[in-house]
Structures are given as structure tokens and as C-alpha cells.
Structure 1
């Protein structure tokens, strides 16, 4: 039932840069590998929500209801901009204050889990992904509910595996990336990217989905 075309399509969608990847990079650089992995777990939890909604046809609301679409994209845009502003403010801190803030963040992996989850569930493109992608690969003679969950499980496994590899790679390079000057510029860059993604999301139209 799981075709090579489905796997390749999922991989192409997963590796494309987006809000989830940006948040994972930010959390990993700021608080280390554990925070990055917690963000991956949160993102996967968000996919579980969309997979369940897709199986019961609820994701269609995002595409057919203007109110549901606007509420979702505005919430997602506000959250991304808030994360981006936090990164920009961090880039203005002195190195010792930045180190103290990072130590505090390390003690709260729940914040990274929440960041990954919130970013995913407030992204209308994640909803449409399950609405538009999974039905195309459902076998005509199968059980739609069961088959949807199977396809979703494969997509989530691929997503979690790829993002975990990204987090581990960042962990290997974090000694260099955590230098004060490098961190300052990385915070500025990630902050601008997150704010830019937030602005892009709030201007998103349903026709673009």
C-alpha cells in the first residue's frame, strides 16, 4: 500500500524549508540537542492532530471555511512573529546574560515541545498537506480510516527522522555556533526568518494552498 511515489513526495515536502524547520533550528541553537529533539517531538504531536482531523474529514474546514482559515493563519503568524522577536531581543543581550538565559531554557524542555507543537498546529499548510496529499494515495478497495492513519504514520516517521538528523547535525556544530559573536548573528538571522515567515503566513490566501 505504501508506494515509492508516496515516500518521495513526503520527503520532498519535509525537506522544504518552513516554519517547523526554522523553529527547530532556533531551539537547537539556543538550548541544545535536548531542546531540538523536544521540538521534533512537539512537531510530530502536531502532525498526529492533523492526521486525526484528516481521517475524520475535519481538515476540510481549513479549505472550505474562511473563518477557520483566517483564525488559524493569524494565530500561526502571531506565534511565529513572537518567536522571531524573542530571537531578535536575545541577539542584543550581553554574552553573560545570554548564557544565563540559555541555562534557564535548558531546564524547560517543555517550552521547546510546546514551540514545536504550536508551530505545527497553527500552520494551515500542515492541515492542507493531510487534506490534499493523503487521499491521493488511499487504495480504492481499502478502509479509508485505517489507510489514512497508516499513510500518516509513515509521513510522521519520515518527518521525525529527518528533523532528528538535522538536530543531531546542529548539535555537532554547536560548539562553533555557540560562540557569542556567531550566536548573536544566528539569533538575528533566525529572528528575521521567523518574523518573515509570520508575515508570509498572515498574507497567505486559500488559493495558495
Structure 2
């Protein structure tokens, strides 16, 4: 099993692919009304997102690792978190219920992912789900917008990572280990020089 930081990024890519498919279906001709209609997922989370691209959704993978479970074989509990950041906005003269729209979109994201077996099969269980919605205002070029932002946090238990010790038989044969240590001059030593200790260890048991 890959380390949590790699596993959670693979899960992020899967979540984005599933959400993009839902957005494409919502924008198809004759599709039923959907919170995904018009939603934009940028190519990366640092892309510039002007109002004409709203509403937007950014998916961010975070990895927290996990507690060590050590017996004879080192094991680590693998945990990770997916963050879904969305921004919806409208001009001051538009009659849009942004709070309701944000709540519907947040619910649609959770339903799409947590009801899809392709997503569920990639982790052990959902340890926490948290949704926070905030509102604010922003403006540019003389235009003022009301905005609503929400954050969905999905904390996922990914199982356990086991670090299996390598079989020494598979390793490169080791004939001997040579060690050399230098000692500083010993006070009172008439030679006044450094002393070198050399020792060789053999991995083979002595007869």
C-alpha cells in the first residue's frame, strides 16, 4: 500500500474525475436541473478565477499520516483528508439565494462521492465529515458581488501500511564488516601519537 501522501492524492484525482463526469452530465442538452450545472473545476488550485468562472470548486488533498502500530512488523495507520472549497457569487442586483444554492451543491458533492462504489472501495471508512458555509462580499472594476464559500472536509481512514522487512537472503552477500577508530593522543603516552583501532566482523557464525 502506498504512503498516505500518495494514496490521498490518488483519491483526490478520482474524486475530481467523478465530479467532472457529474458536471458534464448536468450540462448536457435536456439534462434535469442540477446543482452541478455551470460549476467549474480549475486545472489546479492556483488558477486565476474571475467572476465569469463562478461557481468554482477546488479539491485539495491533505495527508495527516497516522499512529504507529508496532509489533514484530512496523505498521502505520494511514489517514488522509480531502478538502472541497467552493465559491458561489452573484451581482448585487441579481435575485439568487446563494445560501440555498451552496447547501444544495455541498450536498450534491457528498452524495456523488459517498454513494459511488468506485470511490468507497478506495478507503476503509469515513472517519469524519464536516461542512462549513460562510458568506462575504467582493468587488472589482466597479462591480460588487455577494459571495458564499463553503468547505467540505472528508477525513478518510485508508487502512494500514505495513513495512515488511527484507529477507537478508535477497540482499547482497556480505563477507565482512571492517571498522576503524582513531583515538586522540593519550596523556602521558611517550609516543604522543594517535592510536588506531581496527576490527573485522564476519557475519558467518564461528565454528
Q: Which has the higher contact order (CA 8 A, sep 6+)?
A: 1
TM-score (norm 2): 0.27
**Between Structure 1 and Structure 2, which shows a larger proportion of helix residues?**
1
TM-score (norm 1): 0.27
